[in-house]
Structure 1
């Protein structure tokens, strides 16, 4: 079996060519049309010297052209590299160089940052600019026009002998450190996040044609995928939908009111979101939605877990829908899935049914006993390592008792029945007077308070305790929260030493495009302002 992204897509084209594949605004593309346009772009890229192993950056928000670019790269055995479209010039210069980009494809609205970054990135020998619907049409560019490139390309498939070993790479880690590329074999990524192992039964699919074969025998569904395609939480569900003959709807940017208009118009069965950062605005906007949103039967969160109050609200608003969230990362892929139940304890920590080889291990990389804490790890289909970083690869990717294992920085506890309770990221632990505090557990409890819309927790220096717990919160209204009530709420769920001693109120909490908290921003925000509230240490610390 090839188990290659391009082959899997072409199987769907051959089996279901006239089905709708992508929907973006008032545009629609069938599988055959998507294939032909990707072939045209592949022909242009090949003419520009792009072949197996070449790195093609895509600095693009969600659109049909973004998927055409990804598919064209995979068809040529080239490696598409995700470029965060929120990056400034200095960050772009670093990533263009670190990722060894040969070509860059980008939406025109990012021209103000792209142009000066490309001027300092001589390795990038070719750039292609795509017109977009977000205000970039008036910006001049020296890059090749996307539609002109496609018009000159051939719609026929190029003959390329592909392999399951062809590379899939995802740049990650920009919220806590410099971005780094995680390298996967395409078959391994397909197994963990693309349906190569059935998500519900855990059984590997029989062959590379199974998804398209079963899809052709079934009525197609529509999936509305909101996270950015520069993150696997959106890219892999999109490919999974296409490989199984379903249609995918994109929004150029996240606008909660617009999402519900799209749901009413397109009637999707599946909605993919990212944690509270999307769920809370969607819930607020749903009250004003003018139409039927009952088509949704699955609301799935990836890359960031839902807080308990949000789970409660989703279950109340969509009582017939399955609400799920999952754990995973660019380094592990899919690690486990949890299904929402009402009124769980927000201080308990997220609990998921494990999958795809997820396990909790000790410092030596060996599984811990039930009830013990350790590091969240992954066996089975795992990445090859970090691009151009042998030291980090050796630290994270180990071979234990003959089994290749990814040992993450996430702390977890093994539970009965194949469950894992997530405790928090080990590299984000706050050490206060010798006590360890995981920021995620405090964030979860803060967000369970009625007055808190979002929260991010950090450690700040303290003369006596070394560090103290601090938080930046965004409120559900324009005023400051009742701090005394908020602190009492946290104390009800958590030990005294975990209570934030210093709090700042921000208009919004900054997150990455994938929905993860930006801890660097939180520390800078706190460092530049007088706290809005301080809590005395008291005797119950």
Structure 2
């Protein structure tokens, strides 16, 4: 990690972070990292020890994580909206130290917290003198898995500096995409603009106030942003690029996004905590076809499912068998279509709804419904059925109240006009509940 700190030192006056209206330059960031290195030595934190860090993005939080990596520790970032409860996470990973930041991310309290859990993979990493990173999967298709990475290997992907940009790290600090975003921004001496509140209003206001150039977000967030109309009320003209990933984008949402931001590059991204984030290039025709790969990554499609081999792959799960085959290929469980060098992601195997032996991808039904008037958001799920195995159910959020019978009729007519009859929702439910996790990713369960 020393190479990254050396790069910081080459731009001491350049803005590294904007946090709650205050700017921290790269020279100051180096001082904060060095200060934390002294603190770690004073507290007695040793190389190979597991250190849980409970916080959200803030300059000091990022600097502590870099200081821990520099010291050879195993970092376990946790957020207050974590996908797994703190005690449950640490019972899986183990812990030697617990560091909690105040809500503003300014003050860190170090506490000895010994939870002994032995893992052969961690022992091998420590024996090699390498820093580690433990993240937890969302658990959307089962119990959360603890994922172990070599921190240096993740960072090495960014040794080649790219164009500096001002960006909001939208995905949380306990998410691989969040770590990837921060390393990508800072390794190119860009500016990280933090947001404590990831609501549409707070993010849009932060873009306008701080002249943010890059917004990495989820399709669910972008759907809500377009529905809010805030992109028309606030000055978001600084945006040069919007990236979207972690779930399937609806073509109707992408079309509206292109219309709302005609001068902005829209880029689909693809990555998994297990293999890293691949370089991607969206097809320039405004479709959902994307080319993924890049240096350090190989891809192949087997039985319509995407497989990836990565130089930046995890070392393994701490509480589950590996999903890599003997040759190092990882089954992503994402079904895709292939057209030349491009793929179109249809959805996770676990999300497929089986109606009488016919496959239904929730995203294709959601795409049709999102194109209708008065629809704020929709989540399509499968419900058990005695004769068909499953039926399609659409949970819908409305912009303004509408008679349920009228809504159901509109949705069924639109779906039957665009899709096979078995894909049309057998049930339509009007819901006031959020369809999204704290990470702004769609929840598809009953």
Same fold per superposition (TM over 0.5): yes
Pair 411,73 (structure 1): closer, same or farther in 2 beyond 3 Å: same
Match of residue 338 from structure 2: 414
Q: RMSD over aligned Cα, in angstroms?
A: 3.0
Match of residue 388 from structure 1: 318
SS in structure 1 of the partner of residue 81 of structure 2: coil
Compute the displacement of 1:462 (Å): 0.8
Match of residue 177 from structure 2: 233
Match of residue 122 from structure 2: none
Pair 314,438 (structure 1): closer, same or farther in 2 beyond 3 Å: closer
Compute the displacement of 1:169 (Å): 2.9
Q: Residue 102 of structure 2 contacts residue 108 of structure 2 at CA under 8 Å; is this kept in 1?
A: yes
The Cα offsets for residues 190-239 of structure 1, whole Å up to 9 and x where unpaired, read as 46xx54xxxxxxxxxxxx4x42xx76xxxx53223323222222221211
Moved more, 458-467 or 172-181: 172-181
- The reply on whether 1:169 has 2:169 as its aligned counterpart is no
SS in structure 2 of the partner of residue 225 of structure 1: coil
Distance in 2 of aligned mates of 1:226 and 1:477: 28
- The reply on whether 1:256 has 2:200 as its aligned counterpart is yes
Distance in 1 of aligned mates of 2:247 and 2:108: 34
Pair 379,510 (structure 1): closer, same or farther in 2 beyond 3 Å: same
Match of residue 224 from structure 1: 168
Pair 407,87 (structure 1): closer, same or farther in 2 beyond 3 Å: closer
Query: Which of 287, 291, 304 pairs up with 1:374?
Result: 304
- The reply on whether 1:496 has 2:429 as its aligned counterpart is no
**1:95-114 alignment runs, 5 A limit:** 95-106=89-100
Q: Residue 308 of structure 1 contacts residue 342 of structure 1 at CA under 8 Å; is this kept in 2?
A: no
Task: Tell me the number of residue pairs that the alignment of Structure 1 and Structure 2 aligns.
Answer: 428
Distance in 2 of aligned mates of 1:359 and 1:253: 36
Q: Residue 510 of structure 1 contacts residue 517 of structure 1 at CA under 8 Å; is this kept in 2?
A: yes
Distance in 1 of aligned mates of 2:292 and 2:36: 40
Query: Which of 275, 278, 293 pairs up with 2:219?
Result: 275
The Cα offsets for residues 416-443 of structure 1, whole Å up to 9 and x where unpaired, read as 1x11122221122222212222333333
TM-score (ref. length: structure 1): 0.72
Query: Which of 351, 366, 373 pairs up with 2:289?
Result: 351
Q: Residue 370 of structure 2 contacts residue 378 of structure 2 at CA under 8 Å; is this kept in 1?
A: yes
Q: Residue 213 of structure 2 contacts residue 239 of structure 2 at CA under 8 Å; is this kept in 1?
A: yes
Q: Residue 311 of structure 1 contacts residue 340 of structure 1 at CA under 8 Å; is this kept in 2?
A: no
Match of residue 324 from structure 2: 397
SS in structure 2 of the partner of residue 16 of structure 1: coil
**1:76-91 alignment runs, 5 A limit:** 76-87=71-82, 91=85
Match of residue 369 from structure 2: 446
Q: Residue 315 of structure 1 contacts residue 342 of structure 1 at CA under 8 Å; is this kept in 2?
A: no
Query: Which of 65, 72, 84 pairs up with 2:67?
Result: 72
Q: Residue 336 of structure 1 contacts residue 358 of structure 1 at CA under 8 Å; is this kept in 2?
A: no
Distance in 1 of aligned mates of 2:368 and 2:308: 28
Query: Which of 472, 485, 496 pairs up with 2:395?
Result: 472
Q: Residue 360 of structure 1 contacts residue 376 of structure 1 at CA under 8 Å; is this kept in 2?
A: yes
Distance in 2 of aligned mates of 1:455 and 1:148: 43
Q: Residue 394 of structure 2 contacts residue 429 of structure 2 at CA under 8 Å; is this kept in 1?
A: yes
Compute the displacement of 1:517 (Å): 2.1
Compute the displacement of 1:92 (Å): 2.4
Query: Which of 14, 20, 23 pairs up with 1:25?
Result: 20
SS in structure 2 of the partner of residue 170 of structure 1: strand
TM-score (ref. length: structure 2): 0.86
Compute the displacement of 1:87 (Å): 4.8
Compute the displacement of 1:376 (Å): 1.0
Pair 415,71 (structure 1): closer, same or farther in 2 beyond 3 Å: same
SS in structure 2 of the partner of residue 42 of structure 1: helix
Distance in 2 of aligned mates of 1:86 and 1:20: 28
Match of residue 361 from structure 1: 301
Pair 343,376 (structure 1): closer, same or farther in 2 beyond 3 Å: closer
Distance in 1 of aligned mates of 2:139 and 2:240: 33
Q: Residue 331 of structure 1 contacts residue 383 of structure 1 at CA under 8 Å; is this kept in 2?
A: yes
Compute the displacement of 1:247 (Å): 1.0
Compute the displacement of 1:337 (Å): 3.0
Moved more, 489-498 or 461-470: 489-498
Distance in 2 of aligned mates of 1:282 and 1:60: 29
Pair 340,264 (structure 1): closer, same or farther in 2 beyond 3 Å: farther
Structure 2 unaligned segments of length 5 or more: list them.
112-125
Distance in 1 of aligned mates of 2:196 and 2:276: 25
